[in-house]
Amino acid sequence: MGFNHKGLDIEKITVIGAGQIGPDICLHFSKVFWKNNVKLVIIDISEDALTRAEGKIGKKIDRGVETGAFKPAMAEAMKNSITYTSDYSNVAGSNIVVEAATEDEKIKDIIFRQVEGFTDENCLFFSNSSHMKPEVIFRNIANKGRTMVTHYFFPAERNPVVEVVPGVDTDPGLVENVMSLYEAIGKVPIEVKSSYGYAIDPIFEGLCELAILCLEKGYGTVKEIDKMAQNTLRQGVGPFTALNLTGGNPITNHGLEEMRESHIKWFRSPKTLQEATAAGTKWDTAKRGEEVEVSDEKAKVLRNQFLGGYFALACYIIDLGITNVDDLDMATEISLVIAAPFTLMNKTGIEESYNLVKEWCEEHTDFPFPKSLEQAKQNGGWEISNIVRNTRDKVAVLTIRRPKVLNALNLNVLAQLKKEVQIAEADENIDAMVITGFGTKAFVSGADLNMLAALKTPDQGYDNSHTFQGFLNDIGNCKKPIVCALNGFAFGGGNELAMSCTARIAKKGLRVVACQPEVNLGFIPGAGGTQRLPRLVGVDIAAEILRTGRPVSGKEASEIGLIDREAEGDLLEDAVAFANQLASGQVPLRDSMKSNGSTHEPTNLDIGHLSKKIDEIMNRAIYDGYKLPLDEALELESKLFGECILTDDMKIGLENFKKNGPRAKADFKHS
């Protein structure tokens, strides 16, 4: 059957290398392609490595069955999709070959020249190198247009980030399609220009080098340094623990020495790392549950070292010009499980961040002070956006990209979106806009619940609701048509954003396209949901959806008028075409935001365990608001949202969600 994406037909993928990361790459492919009957092959010259790889993959799949992540039939299909072999002739017929062998240019060259002999011109060649430039890896390949580095991060089946690194001869159109492919299969790709170590490893390995230098200078023990790096930078694990987990001493030792030649002299493998690599020893890190105490004096020194060094390393990558602030901020946070560097600088304060880097560079004299940080200080901080803008056929495509939180909204993101809408509205070369979300799971998963939980008074609730509404009103009042392309589910504020657009189109077949789940958490929608939904689908249909908090499928959404159409083909292509039809008048605009002076009254409805107090407030918002002009109705919603703040049930609902997750029913008191 195979899988097709933007002209890329995938029936067979071969992964070469059964060591540390190759099996995990193959495991991810098996998770996303098992339904498509894509054949997967792992090739390694070592039969022992192949046996270990099969055992490793099998164990992870079995664990997925135990946790409920995989159903038995899926697990069986995943296992059956993979062939393990030492015979390179089995690469024949592959559409993609991913090399994940030893970080040695001679070995990679031999592998790809061998693969070239068994595959046709259409087979794509990817290398999972963590450092080497594609021009070096593929130097002897005849058709370099189909080659690139696709650098995964540990653990590759779960870590979503992939650095896509084209060489000078790589086909630009192919790069765009591969970026889109990775997004479609659940990864978070960023494009990085060819540079040794790419964008993220110099930061990771630089932090490892810094940790070892702190050890050699006597600033702390391995355990103390690990803890302070982890606490200061909000890392999942400290640098020494990360080296142990990934078996990273040899590759970091080699990478740092290479970066000394290709980048700046500060990069180097410290003597202690060289010794640990030669001896094959691990770092003496804290055991699980072990408490590590760090004196205030040491903590201050180590905090300044890690903040100064981390900020300097991130800025250095920007100075190289191989990526941008938005991509690096997002990808570093996700791939390394660490605080986003530029966001952290802004939170720390640009003046303090500047001074920390200045003092750090004065100690680390081989590290030049970053020019980009000078500019950021002059600008009053880093400008960071979660909105990615592209232009297609005179349509501005605005993608909300917050993959870590499934594109959840906060006031910051809405301000960024408003800015991009205003820029596009003023652009004479733009006729219409499309707003969509990153990935395939969610358009927008809702509003930031931490923000809502921080609201303590009705006035704060009113202000929050009123501010959200203001941003969405600006989108709704745009003079150019805006199509919302629902790439996945739209919950809460996501659906409210979608309803503020001119029209909505959804990927065909979505089991859940929209939901206003606020009643499950003990409050009502506050960004227009109680007013826009009744005007789109009718007051009684909307009331049932809002009062029960139940999800709506794509099919139902189309039938009741919540969405205008379902996309039969590529969602963005259909959305752009739809936007152009609206702009040209080929498709008339639907005006559904006017009140009809309805005298509808609330109906009896079984709301189960949900709060009767919140239901009473919800009914007032829906039925009283439906009689009013939209602007007055939104004002009413904001006041009633503020009223929810005083209820016990809003506190109970939010606390239950934080402790037990979205599926647990809150024990509402109806007060």
Tokens of 238: 């400290």
Report the DSSP pairing between strands 12-16 and 96-99.
parallel
With both helix axes pointing from N to C terminus, report the angle between 350-363 and 371-378 in degrees, rounded to the nearest 10.
Answer: 160
Buried b (16+ CB within 10 A) or exposed e, 515-539: bbbbbbbbbbbbbbbbbbbbbbbbb
Q: In the chain, count H helices and then E strands.
A: 28, 19
Cβ-based neighbour number of residue 273 at 10 Å: 26
Measured between alpha carbons, how far is 580 from 587 in angstroms, rounded to an integer?
Answer: 9
Measured between alpha carbons, how far is 349 from 305 in angstroms, rounded to an integer?
Answer: 17
Query: Phi and psi (nearest 5°) for 27?
Result: -60, -40
Q: Is 33 helix (H, G, I), strand (E, B) or coil?
A: helix
3 state SS for 304-317: HHHHHHHHHHHHHH
Is 637 among the catalytic positions? no
Exactly one of 518, 566, 635, 643 is catalytic; which is it?
A: 518
H/E stretch holding 588: none
Tokens of 249: 């001493």
Tokens of 348: 């720390």
Residues 6+ apart with CB under 8 A from 617: 524, 640, 643, 644, 647
3 state SS for 599-651: CCCCCCCCCCCCCHHHHHHHHHHHHHHCCCCHHHHHHHHHHHHHHHCCCHHHH
Is 518 among the catalytic positions? yes
Nearest to 204 by CA among 246, 165, 164: 246
One DSSP character per residue, 211-227 reads: HHHHHHTTS--HHHHHH
Measured between alpha carbons, how far is 495 from 498 in angstroms, rounded to an integer?
Answer: 5
Q: Is 189 helix (H, G, I), strand (E, B) or coil?
A: strand
The residues pairing with 390 across neighbouring beta strands, listed in sequence order, are 397
Instruction: Report how far apart, in Å, the C-alpha atoms of 50 and of each of 16, 57, 58, 126, 655 are.
Output: 11, 11, 12, 20, 48
Cβ-based neighbour number of residue 72 at 10 Å: 8
Exactly one of 420, 496, 635, 643 is catalytic; which is it?
A: 496
Residues 6+ apart with CB under 8 A from 325: 318, 342, 382, 383, 384
The single-letter code of the amino acid at 148 is M
Residues 6+ apart with CB under 8 A from 183: 189, 438, 439, 440
Nearest to 158 by CA among 324, 335, 311, 327: 335
Cβ-based neighbour number of residue 421 at 10 Å: 21
Residues 6+ apart with CB under 8 A from 450: none
Measured between alpha carbons, how far is 109 from 140 in angstroms, rounded to an integer?
Answer: 7
Q: Annotated active-site positions, please?
A: 496, 518
